[in-house]
Structures are given as C-alpha cells and as structure tokens.
C-alpha cells in the first residue's frame, strides 16, 4: 500500500466519522483530493463521491480584450474561483496533466478557468502574459461573481502570475510550484550550476538540467536585431533540446555580435561573471528580463497569500528561489519537498506526502474562507 493510498483509506474513514460528529471534513477531503491527483485518470474514491465537472470552451471580451480558455464547472455550487495557468508546454491548456488537475480542483468546488496563453504554447514566458491571467481573474470575479479568486501556476509561469497579483489586489491567493524569483540567480544556476541558499552565503553547486538553458535561448532568439542571428540561435536551441551532446559549432561560428553575446553567457562557468554578461546581452533581451524579474520589485504590496511548493531536487529552478520569494512576500508559506523534481506532484516519501496533504488542506481552507464571504 502506497503512503498516499494509506492517506486515502484513513481519509475515507475519517470523512464518515466526521459526518456523524458534525466536525469539519476538510482534512479528510484533502487526503482524498491528493490521492486523486496522484492517481491521474484512474477511478479514485474522490471521483466516485463527487459530481463530474463540466468542461466548457470560453471566449469572452474583458475590457475590450479577447479572453479564450476552458472553464471547468463543478457539479455542485462553486465555493471560490481559481485561475489555473498552463505551463510552458506545446499542449498549453490541453495538456492531459493540466486537464486532470483542473477537473480534480473543480470536483473540490473551485470554478476553474484555464486561459489560453499563446506564448506558453511556444514555450516562452513574457511579462505581457500577466494580462490573460488578470482578465481571467476579473472575469471570474465580475461575470461569474465568485466570492474570491486564486491563481495557480507552475515554474516560469509563476512570474506573470505574481505580476498579475501585484496589479490586481482582489486576487486572494497564489499557489506556485517551482517558483522563480531572481532571474539573475536563475540564469547563474542554469549556466554554471551555482546557487546560494541565502544572501551573502557561499556558492553551492548542483548539476542543472540543460533543457532550461536552451528554452531560454529559444525564447529570446526572436529579440535579436539581426535576422541571421535569430535563425541561428533558434537552430542551436532546437538541436540542443533534441540532443544536449549535439555539436553546434557549425552554427555558432556564423553568429554576429548579438548572437555571440548570448553564447558567451551560456558558455560561461564563473558565477561572478554572470551579471556583467547579462548586461552585455542585446537590449531587448535585457528589457524583457527586467520586466519579468521579481527581485527588484517591492513585494510588500502583494495582497495575495502565497503557497509555494518546491523540490530540493529541482534542477531547472533551484529551491532557493521559492525560499527567497517567501522571504520577500508579506504572506507566504514555503513547502519544501525532497522528491518533487520540477513540477511532478507525486511525493516519494512519507514526509513529502504529509507536506502535500497539509498544503492541500490550506488550499481548501482558502476555498472555504472565501465562500463565507457569500453567506
């Protein structure tokens, strides 16, 4: 019996006992929901005891802008709204894992809206991606009249999610998995493997996942002025993402000054040189980094409560990023796990299962507290 299956059995028993005694069933519902998430498409007890959500395509105008996405309607009255931000994946809002997550959260009586964000389908993230997140939250609040709304995001999509929450104080909470914070620190990690556990501390080293580095290149290639450099860097990224060991000398030898400045950053192994190499990047790349970076921002203005999940084994964005974000945000809870990798919510140890169960209980508490606004 897996640990989460044990949670499931105990939760099911506790639900029955709590129903008889009149106690809150939230902790037990958390166990059932978490076990359902671990099971994916399998027929869980949570699926059997909750109505199937209705998934509807949505196209509406919000302040003159077109918002498209998928709306997941609970089979029971929604207690709160949730904007679920797709990850940087080609499937976007149609990623099967995202669909399963949205359905599970709708079963938990969240009215879930997954907006279509074209940049994320192209595996790019920009500061402008905050707008569809904002529009989705405002649609749920004004048109669907939910009593409150949260935003959930994974990895780099957490940057525009925080930017949206800074702009819209009615966003009540944020849930982030593998959250970024300081883009200079992240670039330092994926190029050199160096990271710090806190301000002023010594460098530590880990082996980064090279995939993150080449996603950065592909996302920023279009920001170069020279069309030849744009095409060459995109080709470098595609080749390396398919095979990290692939030779690219035939491509890099043809690069102009802007393309060479990007490769100089990627080839560097000294963490102390990273800030200067970033400063030498083409202006449009620097501008986008500055627009997305949370580190220079005053996060004391962040009204939303923050729930941050991060795996100590993350080799794309180190766990220290969520720790830094938690230090700077006024209302934050950091949940560190040993076996989360980057965004895989399948804990491998009892301590991880317990941490996720506790976090799920907090999420349902947010739902219930927001629902009380309506009563």
Q: For residue range 54-71, what is the model confidence (pLDDT) as tens digits?
A: 999 999 999 999 999 999
Are 370 and 231 within one domain? no
Considering the domain boundaries, does residue 48 fall inside one? no
Are 260 and 317 within one domain? no
**What pLDDT sits at residue 328?**
96
Considering the domain boundaries, does residue 287 fall inside one? yes
Are 199 and 177 within one domain? no
Are 82 and 170 within one domain? yes
Are 220 and 190 within one domain? yes
Considering the domain boundaries, does residue 147 fall inside one? yes
Tell me whether residue 230 is exposed, middle or buried, using C-beta atoms within 10 angstroms of its C-beta: 0 to 12, 13 to 18, 19 or more: middle
Considering the domain boundaries, does residue 131 fall inside one? yes
Considering the domain boundaries, does residue 284 fall inside one? yes
**Number of domains the chain is built from:** 2
pLDDT above 70 covers a percentage of the chain that reads: 90
Task: Please count the other Cβ atoms lying within 10 Å of the Cβ belonging to residue 24.
Answer: 12
Domain end among 265, 292, 319: 292
Rounded distance between C-alpha atoms, residue 304 and residue 301, angstroms: 9
- Per-residue pLDDT tens digits for 26-47: 888 999 998 888 877 788 999 9
Are 165 and 66 within one domain? yes
CB 51 within 8 A of CB 74: yes
Considering the domain boundaries, does residue 41 fall inside one? no
Rounded distance between C-alpha atoms, residue 216 and residue 133, angstroms: 22
Q: Which residue has the higher pLDDT, 302 or 355?
A: 302
Domain end among 232, 264, 292: 292
Considering the domain boundaries, does residue 333 fall inside one? yes
Which residues 6+ apart lie within 8 Å of 59 measured at CB? Answer: 66, 67, 68
Are 117 and 195 within one domain? no
Tell me whether residue 94 is exposed, middle or buried, using C-beta atoms within 10 angstroms of its C-beta: 0 to 12, 13 to 18, 19 or more: middle
Domain holding 131, by residue range, is 54-182+294-374
Task: Please count the other Cβ atoms lying within 10 Å of the Cβ belonging to residue 300.
Answer: 8
Residue 235 Cα distances to 24, 174, 308, angstroms: 56, 36, 35
């Amino acid at each position: 019996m897996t640990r989460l299956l044990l949670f499931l059995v105990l939760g099911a028993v506790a639900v029955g006992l709590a129903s008889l005694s009149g106690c809150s069933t939230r902790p037990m519902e958390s166990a059932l929901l978490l076990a359902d998430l671990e099971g994916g498409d399998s027929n869980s007890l949570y699926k059997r005891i909750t109505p199937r959500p209705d998934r509807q395509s949505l196209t509406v105008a919000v302040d003159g802008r077109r918002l498209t996405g998928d709306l997941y309607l609970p089979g029971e009255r929604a207690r709160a709204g949730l904007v679920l931000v797709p990850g940087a994946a080609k499937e976007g809002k149609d990623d099967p894992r995202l669909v399963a997550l949205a359905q599970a959260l709708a079963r938990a009586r969240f009215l879930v809206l997954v907006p279509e964000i074209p940049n994320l389908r192209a595996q790019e993230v920009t500061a402008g991606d905050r707008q569809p997140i904002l529009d989705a939250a405002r649609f749920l609040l004004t048109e669907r009249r939910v009593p409150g709304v949260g935003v959930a995001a994974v990895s780099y999509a957490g940057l525009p999610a925080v930017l949206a929450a800074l702009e819209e104080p009615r966003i009540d909470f944020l849930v982030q998995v593998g959250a970024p914070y300081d883009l200079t620190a992240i670039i330092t990690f994926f190029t050199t493997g160096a990271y710090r556990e806190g301000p002023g501390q010594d460098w530590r080293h880990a082996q980064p996942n090279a995939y993150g580095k080449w996603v950065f290149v592909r996302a920023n290639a279009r920001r170069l002025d020279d069309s030849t450099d744009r095409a060459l860097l995109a080709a470098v990224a595609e080749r390396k993402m398919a095979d990290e060991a692939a030779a690219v000398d035939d491509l890099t030898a043809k690069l102009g000054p802007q393309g060479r400045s990007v490769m100089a950053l990627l080839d560097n192994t000294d963490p102390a040189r990273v800030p200067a190499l970033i400063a030498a990047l083409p202006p449009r790349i620097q501008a986008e980094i500055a627009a997305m970076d949370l580190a220079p921002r005053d996060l004391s203005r962040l009204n939303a409560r923050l729930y941050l999940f991060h795996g100590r084994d993350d080799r794309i964005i180190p766990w220290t990023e969520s720790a830094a974000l938690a230090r700077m945000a006024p209302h934050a809870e950091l949940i560190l796990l040993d076996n989360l990798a980057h965004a895989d919510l399948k804990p491998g140890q009892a301590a991880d299962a317990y941490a996720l169960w506790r976090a799920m209980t907090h999420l349902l508490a947010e739902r219930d507290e927001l629902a009380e606004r309506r009563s």
